[in-house]
Amino acid sequence: MKRTAAFLIFALPFVLAAAATQQQQLTEAPAAFDNQTNGAADPTTFANSEGTFSEVEQITPDGLGPVYNAQSCRECHQNIVTGGASQVSELRAGHLDATGNFVGATLILRDGSRLGPRSLINQRAICADAQGHVPERENIRATRMSVSILGDGFVEAVPDDELRAIAANQAQATNGRIHGQWIEVPVLEGGTLAVGRFGWKDQHASLLSFAGDAYVNEMGITNRLFSAESTNVCNPAGIAEPNDQNNDIETFTTFMRATKVPPRDIVLAATPAATAGEAIFRKIGCATCHVETLTTVPPGTTLNGSTYTVSDAIGNKQFHPFGDFLLHDIGTGDGILQAGGPETARKLRTVPLWGTRTRPQKMHDGLSLTFEDAILRHRGEAGEVTESFFFLSPYQRKQLLTFLGSL
């Protein structure tokens, strides 16, 4: 990638910010691993919502299961503080039908009944008869690492048009070689559509929709947005439906919107090696997809079908995810279709690099244990960037890796 193209991508958020805010001053989003509120909730509300986020769910009276992956939100989002990423991975599977369309897996439960079609494979159950097993025919199989939700309140408040503009600018600056894809997905609480940004397939645009999805699919707890049990095998009688009678999904959302963004290692970031590595990061084209700076809408803006009003703590902020929240084909696609058209089966959301120094396992599948291996796995749209990495001297590579280690 030419320096000019990389600069255009890097500079785009600042241009959009200036146009969007119309002389309103942008401020930095609070960044820290300190389990403290970003200001979107008062300290007591934040602590209480964190407690609910960390609560261990039970079969009764909470409605855990019958099939599930975890007993609390924190179980999958816990490093370095509550809300961060973890080593927990999720399993998905399916197959292609006779016409080449992806179909989620149909599992055979121990009692002989069937569960599906759905791509998510729950790895726990509340009884042996509800435990599912993947048949041989479901030959598309993938694992995905749990991601951090820290700072996602700011991600939710990025204007749809900013994400669309990044995608358009990528295609223009690289003559179509790199072309992030945005998709519109349902905002379940608002009855509208918005540009997806949460989940490995950008399947959600709203944190409340994201919370409702996770509650039913990862913990088996039905709620006002997802009211159907995946199976009734072993489902105890007498548990209220939907299970989430306390509307915990709203509390989860309050917690996520009030988290601070992952901080840089400011000592390492200020070193000459990291500074030089950042320049190399931009020069070879990494910043095309790993966009450094995004901005949020002004305070008072309504989102998600007018169900959510952006607060002063979230509005008019800039933050640094080093990601574009768009779908790309870099040769590591898992073949799973969730949202968008058939072409998205081979695409995944760009990994935001903020907080990456806290994750020993890299990439969506966790199969890369070093930054260098993760870089070398990039193909497809990122092929020329990987080729540029090959031509770096050992010293330049070390500088680049130092920079990545500061994120």
Identify whether the C-beta of residue 403 lies closer than 8 Å to the C-beta of residue 274. Answer: yes
**What pLDDT shows up at residue 24?**
73
Chain center to CA of 367:
17
Identify whether the C-beta of residue 25 lies closer than 8 Å to the C-beta of residue 316. Answer: yes
> CA dist 330 to 177, 292, 308, 379, 381, Å?
11, 19, 34, 5, 5
| Measured distance CA(370)–CA(391) in Å, rounded | 19
The model carries a pTM of 0.93
**What pLDDT shows up at residue 8?**
45
Letter string b/e over residues 29-63, b meaning 16 or more CB atoms within 10 A of that residue's CB: bbbebeebbbbbbeeeebeebbebbbeebebeebb
* Structure token pair of residue 294: 């995004």
β-sheet bridge partners, residue 89: 145
pLDDT in tens, 80-98: 999 999 999 999 999 999 9
**What pLDDT shows up at residue 12?**
52
**What pLDDT shows up at residue 51?**
98
pLDDT in tens, 261-287: 999 999 999 999 999 999 999 999 999
With tokens 């640094």, the residue in question is 320
Please report, for the chain, the start and end positions of each structural domain, with discontinuous segments joined by +. 3-405
Which H/E stretch holds residue 396?
helix 394-405
CA angle 181, 27, 272 (to 5 degrees): 80
**E strands along 19-151, which residues?**
27-28, 67-68, 89-96, 102-109, 114-118, 120-121, 124-125, 132-133, 140-145
Identify whether the C-beta of residue 201 lies closer than 8 Å to the C-beta of residue 344. Answer: yes
pLDDT in tens, 114-140: 999 999 999 999 999 999 999 999 999
Mean pLDDT of the chain: 94
Coil vs helix vs strand at 325 = coil
Which H/E stretch holds residue 275?
helix 272-283
Which H/E stretch holds residue 350?
none
| Measured distance CA(149)–CA(155) in Å, rounded | 10
Evaluate the omega torsion of the peptide bond into residue 135 and state whether it is cis, within 30 degrees of 0. no
Dihedrals phi, psi of 301, to nearest 5 degrees: -70, 135
| Measured distance CA(117)–CA(13) in Å, rounded | 40
Dihedrals phi, psi of 309, to nearest 5 degrees: -110, 125
| Measured distance CA(74)–CA(82) in Å, rounded | 6
Angle formed by the axes of helices 394-405 and 272-283, to 10°? 100
Query: Which regions of the chain are under pLDDT 70?
Result: 1-23
With tokens 């260098």, the residue in question is 372
Identify whether the C-beta of residue 56 lies closer than 8 Å to the C-beta of residue 72. Answer: yes
Coil vs helix vs strand at 347 = coil
One-letter identity of residue 227: S
Helix-strand-coil percent breakdown of the chain, rounded to 5? 30, 15, 50
Query: Assign residue 112 a region: left if phi > 0, alpha if psi is -120 to 50, beta otherwise?
Result: left
